[in-house]
């Protein structure tokens, strides 16, 4: 996949690559009809999802308008049709439901100055999951990323993990 980068937008790192592998697998196995890529950044997860299963309707959102612009550009570059919107979590999606909701959330606990690209942690992930469940179709799945530096205590299934430098990254699934 060809991607453009920008200093104002999260560039794909180990966490993105680990989640991307799981997204590929889920798109192959479950063929979800509607996919939401929350916190799309460069658009890497949304573009992966659409490329693997072009029949799905894929939507990407980010709180950062510069990410939305970059993701749109990257989708064009990869010749995939994806709608991108600026949205703080689900504020733009009141009555909409999805079959797969993906979020490589900012997983480290917030420390001032709060920057939404980096500040998150378990509390933020839990808030996302609670809202994501309200926007999930029957049999739908939610995928999220977290780190051994900021473990989560709520019930979930670990579907991928990888040791990188001084931490282990996990992809969790909840339904």
- Which parts of this chain interact with ligand SAM (CB under 6 A)? 10, 12, 16, 19, 38-42, 44-45, 61-64, 67, 88-89, 104, 106, 116-117
Beta strands, E only, 43-155: 57-62, 83-86, 98-103, 108-109, 119-120, 136-147
Integer angstrom CA distances of residue 47 from 14, 57, 102, 116, 154: 17, 11, 12, 22, 29
Token pair, residue 134, equals 């309200």
Q: Is the dihedral of CA 31, 67, 133, 129 positive or negative?
A: positive
Contact 103, 143 (CB under 8 A): yes
Tell me 12's DSSP state: P
First vs last Cα of the chain: how many Å apart?
Answer: 29
Cβ 19 to ligand SAM shortest distance, Å: 6
Cβ 109 to ligand SAM shortest distance, Å: 14
- Round to whole Å and give the CA distance between 171 and 66: 26
């Amino acid at each position: 996949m060809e991607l453009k980068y920008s200093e104002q937008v999260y560039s794909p790192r180990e966490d993105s690559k680990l989640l991307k592998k799981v997204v590929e697998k889920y798109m192959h196995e479950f063929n979800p009809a509607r996919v939401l890529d929350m916190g799309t950044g460069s658009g890497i997860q949304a573009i992966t999802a659409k490329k693997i299963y072009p029949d799905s309707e894929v939507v990407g959102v980010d709180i950062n308008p510069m990410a939305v612009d970059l993701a749109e550009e990257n989708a064009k570059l990869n010749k995939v049709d994806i709608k991108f919107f600026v949205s703080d979590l689900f504020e733009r999606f009141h009555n909409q439901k999805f079959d797969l909701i993906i979020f490589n959330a900012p997983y480290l606990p917030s420390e001032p100055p709060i920057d939404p690209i980096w500040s998150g942690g378990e509390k933020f992930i839990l808030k996302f999951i609670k809202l994501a469940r309200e926007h999930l179709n029957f049999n739908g799945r939610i995928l999220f990323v977290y780190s051994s530096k900021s473990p989560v205590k709520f019930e979930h299934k670990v579907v991928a993990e990888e040791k990188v430098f001084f931490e282990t990254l996990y992809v969790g699934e909840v339904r």
